[in-house]
């Protein structure tokens, strides 16, 4: 379709077109500047004949979703893009090409898995060994190239052109005999159907916001921002870094090392605390309440699995009530099945006041709450309940 104005005139904000096909709420035009989405770039929005375009569907030609329209074939319509949205997506897409190419120059073995460019967040998915220092270096190179305002060009080549051997391309996605190449002069060349700015300077800035694991998929996710959003976020993060450096008594440039040292110290002390609590747990002695041995203890840094295992051991012939705190409170209440104590009820009544909850069986229940400071009160409530149960049992 020669009427893909988003390719031939990517900076076009308004245009006139003729309705060629309608299908319910879907409308096709003889030419359009609305990008239907693809290559990781979200679809455009805007208006046609004064009516909002709320969705796009790729096709030849592309389709525009205009709910409740009364347009007819042959109607001449005025159309306008949501230009702020398009402009941001164009800059993000070219920024992604730039970030990917600079990363490849620093870490040649890195692989680009996919891209997801939206108004609220930009994500670049990669596989390979990637460190934050690599990202920092790539970000610096990106902004140097942006400052140099290097041209971004588009060309069409044959699908069997040897030039494609050195191009970032997914051949299985290419339809037809022509391949559309987007090039950052002297730096990067990618097979891409997306819409781009015509020079790196128009990206404004690139800022890497976050590096995270992709979970079980085996890739890493890089979130980044461009333009004014990058500048604003960068300034805010700079202020936070300066504040953190002041609190730690360090220079901003030394902040990563200071934080790493602080984390290593905290981890070491936490492991020592866990080991100490494990020894206390192993030496826990019962309190005799009406002839029933009751184990009760509070700990720091012991996971629920450890608590459950110890409770299962200590409840034989008695009752076990134990709690542990990390970022939240974990509680386990267990008893020998020979007793008619309802451990679920004990646990539920103790956690109710701090908004916690749990589950299990009558002889073994576990749960927790988001208020670790409530640990003493929770244990006291459990012991009060058990004391009342013992008293009623003896009556």
The Cα 389–Cα 288 span in angstroms is 14
Of all residues in the chain, what percent carry a pLDDT higher than 90? Answer: 77
pLDDT at 158: 87
- Which residues, including other chains, have CB under 8 Å from residue 291's CB and lie 6 or more apart? none
DSSP 3-state of 48: strand
Compute CA distances 205 → 117, 131, 135, 334, whole Å. 16, 21, 15, 58
Assign domain 87-248 to a CATH class: alpha beta
CA dist 359 and 173 (Å) reads 50
Chain centre distance of CA 63? 31
| Residue pair 39/115 in contact by the 8 Å Cβ criterion | yes
When pLDDT is cut at 50, 70 and 90, the band that residue 281 belongs to is: confident
Q: Which tens digit of pLDDT belongs to each residue from 294-341?
A: 999 999 878 888 889 999 999 999 999 999 988 899 999 999 999 999
- Lowest mean pLDDT: which of 61-65, 225-229, 277-281? 277-281
What are the pLDDT digits (tens) for 196-246?
999 999 999 999 999 998 766 778 999 999 999 999 999 999 999 999 999
Is pLDDT above 80 for 186? yes
Mean pLDDT of all residues belonging to the chain? 92
Kindly report, residue by residue over 68-99, the tens digit of the pLDDT. Answer: 999 999 999 999 999 999 999 999 999 999 99
In the chain, domain spans: 5-81, 87-248, 250-282, 284-394
Q: Tell me what pLDDT residue 326 has.
A: 80
- Residue 1 confidence (pLDDT): 41
CB count in 10 Å sphere of residue 146: 22
Q: Do 5-81 and 87-248 have matching folds?
A: no
The CATH-assigned architecture of domain 284-394 is: Roll (3.10)
Query: For the residues 117-124, what does the mean pLDDT come to?
Result: 93
Average pLDDT over residues 282-286: 91
- Going from the C-alpha of 329 to that of each of 285, 367, 384, the distances in angstroms are 22, 8, 19
The CATH class of the 5-81 domain is mainly beta
């Amino acid at each position: 379709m020669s009427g893909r104005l988003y390719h031939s005139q990517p900076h076009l904000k308004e245009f006139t077109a003729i309705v060629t096909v309608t299908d319910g709420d879907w409308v096709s035009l003889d030419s359009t500047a609305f990008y239907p989405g693809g290559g990781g770039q979200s679809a455009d929005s805007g208006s046609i004949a004064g009516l909002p375009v709320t969705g796009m569907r790729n096709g030849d030609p592309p389709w525009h979703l205009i709910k409740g329209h009364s347009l007819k074939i042959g109607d001449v319509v005025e159309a306008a893009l949501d230009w702020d949205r398009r402009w941001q997506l164009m800059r993000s897409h070219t920024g992604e090409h730039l970030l990917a190419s600079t990363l490849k120059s620093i870490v040649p073995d890195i692989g680009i898995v996919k891209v997801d460019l939206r108004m609220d967040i930009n994500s670049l998915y990669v596989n390979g060994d990637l460190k934050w220092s690599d990202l920092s270096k790539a970000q610096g190179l990106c902004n140097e190239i942006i400052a140099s305002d290097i041209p971004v060009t588009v060309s069409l080549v044959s699908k069997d052109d040897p030039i494609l051997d050195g191009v970032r391309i997914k051949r299985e996605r290419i339809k037809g005999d022509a391949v559309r190449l987007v090039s950052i002069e002297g730096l990067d060349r990618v097979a891409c159907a997306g819409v781009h700015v015509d020079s790196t300077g128009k990206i404004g800035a690139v800022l890497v916001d976050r590096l995270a694991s992709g979970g079980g998929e085996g890739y890493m996710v890089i979130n980044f921002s461009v333009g004014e959003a990058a500048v604003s976020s960068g300034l805010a993060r700079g202020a936070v870094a300066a504040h953190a450096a002041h609190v730690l008594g360090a220079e901003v440039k030394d902040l990563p090392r200071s934080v790493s040292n602080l984390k290593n110290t905290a981890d070491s002390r936490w492991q020592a605390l866990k080991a100490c609590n494990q020894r206390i747990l192993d030496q826990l002695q019962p309190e005799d309440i009406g002839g029933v041995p009751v184990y009760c203890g509070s700990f720091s840094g012991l996971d629920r699995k450890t608590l459950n295992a110890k409770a299962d051991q200590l409840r034989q012939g008695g009752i076990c009530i134990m709690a542990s705190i990390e970022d939240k409170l974990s509680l386990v209440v267990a008893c020998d099945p020979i007793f008619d104590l309802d451990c679920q009820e004990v646990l539920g009544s103790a956690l109710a006041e701090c908004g916690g909850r749990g589950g299990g069986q009558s002889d073994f229940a576990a749960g927790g709450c988001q208020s670790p400071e409530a640990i003493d009160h929770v244990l006291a409530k459990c012991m009060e309940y058990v004391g009342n149960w013992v008293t009623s049992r003896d009556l």
